[in-house]
Chain A
Amino acid sequence: MKHILVLIFLSFSFLAQAKIKVVTTTPDLAWLVNQIGTNKVEVISLLNGTEDPHYVDAMPNWISKVSNADVFCFVGMDLEVGWAPKVLSRSGNAKVQPGGKGHCNGGKTVKALDIPKGKIDRSMGDMHGEGNPHYHLGPTFYLQAAESIFSTLIEVDTKNVEFYSANLDKLKVKISKIKDKVAALLKSKSGIRIMSYHKEFSYFFKDFNLVSASSIEETPGVPPSAGRIARVGLQAKRDKIDLVLGTTANPKNILDKFNEISGVPVAIVPLSIKLTGSPSNYEELLVNLANLILENARE
C-alpha cells in the first residue's frame, strides 16, 4: 500500500511539472513561444528556417510530432495552407485542430498589411486574401502575434496565467529595445527606396520607415518573365532605387539578371530565425537584416 501511495505521489508531482508541448510551424513562432512560456513549455518547430514555408510537403514525421502536442501555432494568413491542414487532420489530435483549445493562429491578432482590395482570383497569382503573412519581420506586428500565443497558453494552462502575462510584458520590453536598436542602425538610411523580389518585407519597411518601391515579381508566386525583369530593371535604374532585397528562397538567377540590367545592388538576407546557425534569435535576425541593408544600399 505504501508503495502505491508513493507511486501516486510521484505521478502527481510528475504531472505538476509536465511542460506544455508546443509545436510551431516556423522557428520565428517558436522563439515567441519560448519567450512567453520559458521553462513551462517544450517547443518544437517543424521548419528549421531555411525552407520556403509556402512550398513544403506535409511530412509524415511532422504528423507524429503534432499528435503529441498540446498547442499548435502557425503563422496563418494562408501561408501554410498547402500542408498544415493535412498535418493537423492526420495527427488525430483534437486539441490542436480548428476548434481545439491548442489551435493557435498567430496571424489572427495581427493588423495585416497588403490585404487585397476587390475581387481576387488565381489570375492574380498566390494571393493571400487575409493579407501579407510575413509579419514577423515587423516588431510591432510580431508582438501582435504574441498576443495570440499568450491567449492560447493561458487557455491551455490556466494555472499559470500570471506567469505568462509577466513574460509577455518582458517580451514587449525586449522587442521594443530590439526595434529601437534596429531603428538606430537604419537612421542614416531613412527614406531610402528598396525593392524586393517578393513582398516579404512590407512589415519591416512599415516599422522602420523605409520606402517600399514595388517588387520584381509581377504576379505573386510566379517567376517574372524576361520582359518583366528588363522593364522593371530599367525602371529601377531610372528611379535610382537604392537596394533590392531577396531571400535564399528567391531565384538567384533572376536577381542576378535584375542587378545586371538595373545596376541596383542586391542583398540576400535571411527571412527567418534558424534552428541551427545564424540568426538564432529575433534580435540577430533584425540586426543582420539592417546591417545587410547598410552594407549594400547605395550611398
Chain B
Amino acid sequence: MRNLILVTLSLLSLPIQAMDTSGLEVSLSGDMVYSQGLNETSGANEKLKMRGAEMSFFAPIDHRFDGNLTAAAHDENGETVFELHELYLASTKMIPRSRFKIGQYFLGIGRINHIHQHDWPFIEAPKVHETFLDEEGVFDAGVEYGYLLPTDFYLDLTVGLTSGHRFGHAHTSGSKPLVPTHYLKLATFNEFSSTNGLLFSLSYLGRTDEQKNQTKLTGAEIVAKWREGKRLIYQIISEAWFRTQKDRLESVSEQVGLYVFNQYGFSSDFLLGLRLDAFKDLSKRNAITNKKINNIDYGSSLELTWNSSEFVKTRLGLSHSFTREEGLTSGKDTKAMAQFVFILGAHPAHSF
C-alpha cells in the first residue's frame, strides 16, 4: 500500500502541462464526521473522525478506453487504513448502446452502493444498507456490463460477475467461493418534465461462499427529483432490500429492510432531509424456546445540509434509532452529528 501512496504522490507531482495533454483529472475529497451521544446507550464515538480521504484519478487511456483509480484512507478504530477502492479499465465506445468495466469497483446495484460515500445525501448508511452491503458499500474485482435496451423509453440493464472471494468490508484476501458474486440491475425512468422525473430499478445479487453459505439479495430503488434552476426543490430516495441466506445445513434466514429519504431545498444552498429506516429479521428465534421473536429496528434522522457550493457540504443531523423485541425496547441510540465534506480538483459529472 505504501507503493500506492508513492505512485499517487508521484502522479500529483506531474507537471500541469503533462496532465493537460493526457486529459488526466484528479479529484481529492475529505469526509469528516463528528457524532455526539445524547443518551446513555448511544454508540457515538464523540470525536471528529476522519471518515475518508479519497483520491481519484481518471482519464481516457486512448480513443477507446477510460481508466479510473480511486484509493481511500479511512479511520478504522483510530487507525488510518489506506485501501484501493476502484481500479478499472472501462469503455463506452466499443459495443453500441453498451458500457463495460473490468477491474475493481463498487458494484452497480441499488442506489447508494455505487455512489462514493462523501457524495451520499445523508451522513450515515441506512441500517439495511449497513447490514446487507456494508457501511460504505460492496466493491470487488470482476467485470460489469451495461446495456441500454433499444426501447422508446429508458430501460437499462447492468449485469456483473466478480470474484466473490470476499463480500463487504474486509482486509483479508478471502477465499474462493463456490459461486462467485453475480448481480444484475434493471432500471427505468419516467420523465415529469425536462428537469423532473422518477427513476425505478430492481436489483439482484447472489453468492455462495466456500462454506456453502448461500446469499441472495433482492432490492428495489426509487428516486424522484423536482429541480428548478440551481435549487433542488424536493427529492425522495428509497431502497428496499430482502436477503435470504442458506447455510450448508439448509438452515434459512431472512431479513428485510428499507429506508425512505425525503429532502426539501429551501434554496439552492440549504436543504432539510428526513430519513426513516426500518429493518426486520424474519428468522430471529429465541435461543431457548426456538420460537420466532417479533422484532424490528426503527431509525429516523433529520439532517440540515448547507452546500456552500457543489464542492463543500456541511451537514448537521439528529438521529434516533431503537430496537424492539417482543414489544420491548432492547436498544436505543440517540445522537447528534456533524459532517464536513470537501472536494478538491475535478469532479465527474453527476448521474440523476
A residues sitting closer than 8 Å to B (CB atoms) are: 46-48, 50-52, 54-61, 63-64, 67, 81-86, 88-94, 97-100, 122, 221-223, 249
Contact with A along B90-116 (1 / 0, CB 8 A): 001111111100000000000000000
Q: Check if B47 is an interface residue, CB within 8 A of chain A.
A: no
Instruction: Contact check, B154 vs A97: say whether CB atoms are below 8 A apart.
Output: no
Known contacts A85-B348, A92-B146: does B187 contact A60 (CB below 8 Å)? yes
Instruction: Contact check, A51 vs B194: say whether CB atoms are below 8 A apart.
Output: yes
Known contacts A54-B230, A98-B60: does B191 contact A59 (CB below 8 Å)? yes
Known contacts A52-B230, A60-B199: does B351 contact A86 (CB below 8 Å)? yes
Query: Could you pull out 11 A-B pairs where Cβ atoms are within 8 angstroms?
Result: A56-B194, A57-B195, A58-B351, A59-B189, A59-B197, A60-B187, A64-B154, A67-B97, A82-B349, A86-B348, A91-B92
Interface residues of B in 172-186 (CB under 8 A from A): none
**CA A4 – CA B38 in complex, angstroms?**
79
Residues of A within 8 A of B187 (CB): 60
Contact with A along B130-162 (1 / 0, CB 8 A): 000000000000000011100111101000000
Min CB–CB distance B128 → chain A (angstroms): 24
Contact of A59 among B93, B151, B195, B309 (CB under 8 A): B195
| 8 A-B pairs with the lowest CB-CB distances in the bound complex, closest first | A94-B93, A60-B189, A86-B349, A55-B230, A85-B349, A92-B97, A60-B154, A52-B229
**CA A90 – CA B189 in complex, angstroms?**
14
Q: Check if B311 is an interface residue, CB within 8 A of chain A.
A: yes
**CA A97 – CA B98 in complex, angstroms?**
13
Q: Check if B171 is an interface residue, CB within 8 A of chain A.
A: no
Instruction: Contact check, B194 vs A67: say whether CB atoms are below 8 A apart.
Output: no
Instruction: Contact check, B311 vs A61: say whether CB atoms are below 8 A apart.
Output: no
Instruction: Contact check, A222 vs B154: say whether CB atoms are below 8 A apart.
Output: no
Instruction: Contact check, B96 vs A93: say whether CB atoms are below 8 A apart.
Output: yes
B residues sitting closer than 8 Å to A (CB atoms) are: 60, 63, 66, 92-99, 146-148, 151-154, 156, 187, 189, 191, 194-195, 197, 199, 225, 227, 229-230, 268-269, 309-311, 348-352
Question: What residue in chain B is nearest A89 (Cβ atoms)?
Answer: B92
Min CB–CB distance A125 → chain B (angstroms): 8
Question: What residue in chain A is nearest B269 (Cβ atoms)?
Answer: A223
Instruction: Contact check, B189 vs A61: say whether CB atoms are below 8 A apart.
Output: yes
Known contacts A48-B194, A59-B194, A82-B350: does B92 contact A64 (CB below 8 Å)? no
Instruction: Contact check, B194 vs A47: say whether CB atoms are below 8 A apart.
Output: yes
Contact of B95 among A89, A92, A98 (CB under 8 A): A92
Instruction: Contact check, A57 vs B350: say whether CB atoms are below 8 A apart.
Output: yes
User: Majority SS of interface residues in chain A?
Assistant: loop
Known contacts A48-B194, A81-B349, A97-B92: does B154 contact A61 (CB below 8 Å)? yes
Residues of B within 8 A of A97 (CB): 92-93
Known contacts A67-B97, A92-B98: does B351 contact A61 (CB below 8 Å)? no
Instruction: Contact check, A63 vs B154: say whether CB atoms are below 8 A apart.
Output: yes
Residues of A within 8 A of B197 (CB): 59-61
**CA A252 – CA B349 in complex, angstroms?**
28
Known contacts A67-B148, A86-B348: does B156 contact A60 (CB below 8 Å)? yes
**CA A174 – CA B98 in complex, angstroms?**
41
| Residue in A61, A88, A89 with the greatest tally of chain B CB atoms within 10 Å | A61
Instruction: Contact check, A57 vs B153: say whether CB atoms are below 8 A apart.
Output: no
Min CB–CB distance A127 → chain B (angstroms): 12
Instruction: Contact check, A249 vs B92: say whether CB atoms are below 8 A apart.
Output: no
Contact of A83 among B156, B191, B349 (CB under 8 A): B349
Residues of A within 8 A of B194 (CB): 46-48, 50-51, 56, 59
**CA A187 – CA B232 in complex, angstroms?**
41
**CA A18 – CA B220 in complex, angstroms?**
40
**CA A58 – CA B194 in complex, angstroms?**
10
Contact of A222 among B66, B227, B309, B349 (CB under 8 A): B309
**CA A58 – CA B197 in complex, angstroms?**
11
Residues of B within 8 A of A90 (CB): 92, 99, 146, 148, 156, 351
**CA A60 – CA B352 in complex, angstroms?**
7
**CA A88 – CA B349 in complex, angstroms?**
11
| Residue in B96, B148, B189 with the greatest tally of chain A CB atoms within 10 Å | B148
**CA A91 – CA B96 in complex, angstroms?**
8
Min CB–CB distance A61 → chain B (angstroms): 5
Question: What residue in chain A is nearest B310 (Cβ atoms)?
Answer: A82
**CA A111 – CA B148 in complex, angstroms?**
37
**CA A60 – CA B149 in complex, angstroms?**
12
Residues of A within 8 A of B147 (CB): 92
Instruction: Contact check, A56 vs B60: say whether CB atoms are below 8 A apart.
Output: no
Known contacts A59-B194, A60-B187, A122-B311: does B153 contact A93 (CB below 8 Å)? no
Residues of A within 8 A of B269 (CB): 223
Residues of B within 8 A of A56 (CB): 194-195, 227
Min CB–CB distance B314 → chain A (angstroms): 16
| Residue in B60, B93, B96, B99 with the greatest tally of chain A CB atoms within 10 Å | B93
**CA A47 – CA B187 in complex, angstroms?**
22
Residues of A within 8 A of B225 (CB): 57
Known contacts A52-B229, A60-B187: does B349 contact A91 (CB below 8 Å)? no
**CA A93 – CA B229 in complex, angstroms?**
28
**CA A91 – CA B93 in complex, angstroms?**
9
Residues of A within 8 A of B229 (CB): 51-52, 55, 249
**CA A93 – CA B98 in complex, angstroms?**
8
Residues of B within 8 A of A46 (CB): 194
Question: What residue in chain A is nearest B188 (Cβ atoms)?
Answer: A60
Min CB–CB distance B23 → chain A (angstroms): 9
Instruction: Contact check, B153 vs A61: say whether CB atoms are below 8 A apart.
Output: yes
Question: What residue in chain B is nearest A97 (Cβ atoms)?
Answer: B93
Instruction: Contact check, B348 vs A58: say whether CB atoms are below 8 A apart.
Output: no
Instruction: Contact check, B195 vs A92: say whether CB atoms are below 8 A apart.
Output: no
Min CB–CB distance B351 → chain A (angstroms): 6
Residues of A within 8 A of B349 (CB): 58, 81-86
Instruction: Contact check, B156 vs A94: say whether CB atoms are below 8 A apart.
Output: no
Residues of B within 8 A of A86 (CB): 348-351
